[in-house]
């Protein structure tokens, strides 16, 4: 008897909440009707109407479920309108831009097009879990969306400037996730708390050596894209020229665990387009040590096509002595403020040992002296340097090895 009463009360409470949700949706429509001059708001009003129509139908048919309220888009629409009410010079809402073969919808465009805003009303703990991989297959993390926004903004400059990307987290965000977004080039608005962070030990990641490698982008220097000089590490040149990054990842299944994993990464996140995008409009440099080491590796283990690509790459690179300074480059000092804040200085000594090897140290110091951002996959060196309180200006990408020779001996074509 009491159980039936409980079920009845729970059902009535659910319908009461639905009624409140519908009334709330009507208030959102009221705001929209008062701001008809903003592009896209009428489209938003139609979406709100669709939500309300659905809720009224399930209430009328007595088929309402708790999930209907939990998954209602009215929560997001409310957060969007709340954010909109605090913004001046709003130009449009739900503005659609094209990025390659897909569309990117920007919640709010303001400041005469100079600012793009995305509004996030999701549970902050859930956002962190998704970024740690604790989600169903195909679920896109907020980091994926940030990367997409930043990439898209570069394609649509306004007043000769790339629009600023802002993510507004209505319910807050984890501190670690906030830092990762900043490293992607996104400005974060919302309460930060370590309580929302998910420890790696709490995730579903295993300790197996073949588990997917976490993103290295959190090691890249913030705002380094403004620097027009690039110092190529050996690892960057190998990644750019290797067969696996130039098509063979889709042709072969490698026996060697490391190569098998890198091929899988390449299919998920092709590294060459990332590097090409970062190289665009910039001058490529390398020191003599990097050039010599790169050529030796290619000549020893590189395949015929990898050797051709390496030659073509070096023709694009300005090679300077190991001890060169920025005064010896063809350009002046770029991003000097960044270098003043984080560069290696003569009064600090980086001790050799472990991940700090002489060749790497020579290459990174060269990039520091000519005031170029060092492009590298050597995250071990960067982390080891950070432990000694030394920060280099870097752009970090995933590692790729030369694979062409091994395709004939330690790989199976997918077609066979």
* pLDDT digits 0-9 by tens, 3-23: 333 344 567 788 888 888 888
Distances (CA, A) of 37 to 34, 90, 97, 106, 236: 9, 10, 20, 18, 50
Q: How far is CA 395 from CA 282, 334, 376, in A?
A: 14, 15, 6
The more confidently predicted of residues 181 and 101 is 181
Beta-carbon contacts of residue 109 (< 8 Å; ≥ 6 apart) = 90, 91, 92, 93, 95, 115, 116, 117, 163
Which pLDDT value is given to residue 354?
Answer: 77
Q: Is 318 helix (H, G, I), strand (E, B) or coil?
A: strand
Q: Taking the model in full, what pTM does it have?
A: 0.50
Can you point out the beta strands (E) in 314-377?
A: 317-320, 373-376
What tens digit of pLDDT does each residue of 22-40 get?
Answer: 887 787 877 777 777 788 8
| Topology (CATH level 3) of domain 217-413 | Rossmann fold (3.40.50)
What is the CATH code for 87-205?
3.40.1350
Strand segments (E) across 9-163: 90-99, 102-110, 115-120
In the prediction, which pLDDT does 236 show? Answer: 95
- Angular region, 354: left φ>0, alpha ψ -120 to 50, beta rest: left
HSE (CB half, 13 Å, CA atoms) of 238? 27
Name the residue among 291, 284, 286, 278 with its Cα closest to residue 366.
286
pLDDT band at 222 (very low <50, low <70, confident <90, very high): confident
188 close to 179: Cβ distance less than 8 angstroms: no
Rounded Cα distance, 211 and 327, in Å: 44
Provide the pLDDT for residue 309. Answer: 95
The continuous run of DSSP H or E covering 49 comes out as helix 41-60
């Amino acid at each position: 008897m009491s159980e039936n009463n409980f079920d009845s009360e729970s059902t009535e409470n659910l319908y009461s909440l639905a009624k409140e949700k519908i009334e709330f949706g009507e208030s959102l429509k009221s705001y929209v009707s008062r701001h008809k001059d903003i592009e896209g708001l009428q489209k938003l009003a139609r979406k709100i109407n669709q939500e309300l129509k659905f809720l009224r139908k399930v209430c009328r048919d007595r088929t309402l479920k708790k999930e209907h309220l939990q998954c209602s888009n009215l929560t997001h629409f409310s957060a969007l309108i709340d954010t909109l009410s605090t913004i001046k010079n709003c130009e449009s809402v739900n503005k659609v831009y094209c990025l390659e073969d897909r569309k990117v919808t920007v919640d709010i465009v303001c400041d005469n097009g100079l600012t793009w805003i995305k509004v996030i009303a999701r549970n902050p703990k859930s956002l962190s879990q998704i970024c740690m991989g604790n989600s169903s297959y195909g679920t896109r993390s907020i980091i994926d969306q940030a990367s997409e926004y930043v990439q898209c903004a570069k394609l649509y400059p306004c007043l000769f400037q790339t629009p600023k990307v802002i993510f507004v987290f209505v319910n807050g965000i984890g501190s670690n996730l906030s830092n990762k977004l900043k490293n992607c080039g996104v400005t974060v608005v919302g309460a930060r708390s370590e309580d929302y962070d998910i420890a790696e030990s709490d995730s579903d990641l295993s300790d197996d050596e073949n588990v997917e490698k976490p993103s290295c982008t959190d090691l890249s220097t913030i705002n380094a894209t403004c620097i027009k000089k690039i110092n190529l590490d050996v690892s960057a040149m190998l990644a750019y020229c290797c067969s696996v990054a130039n098509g063979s990842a889709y042709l072969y299944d490698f026996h060697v665990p490391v190569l098998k994993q890198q091929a899988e990464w390449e299919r998920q996140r092709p590294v060459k387009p990332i590097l090409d995008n970062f190289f665009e409009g910039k001058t490529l440099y390398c020191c003599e040590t990097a050039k010599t080491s790169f050529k030796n590796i290619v000549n020893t283990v590189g395949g015929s096509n990898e050797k051709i690509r390496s030659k073509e790459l070096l023709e694009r690179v300005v090679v300077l002595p190991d001890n060169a300074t920025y005064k010896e480059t063809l350009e002046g000092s770029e991003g000097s403020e960044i270098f003043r804040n984080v560069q290696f200085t003569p009064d600090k000594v980086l001790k050799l040992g472990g991940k700090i090897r002489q060749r790497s140290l020579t290459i990174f110091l060269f990039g520091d002296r000519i005031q170029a951002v060092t492009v590298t996959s050597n995250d071990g060196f960067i982390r080891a340097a950070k432990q000694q309180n030394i920060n280099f200006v870097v752009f970090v990408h995933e590692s790729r090895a030369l694979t062409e020779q091994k395709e004939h001996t330690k790989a199976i074509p997918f077609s066979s």
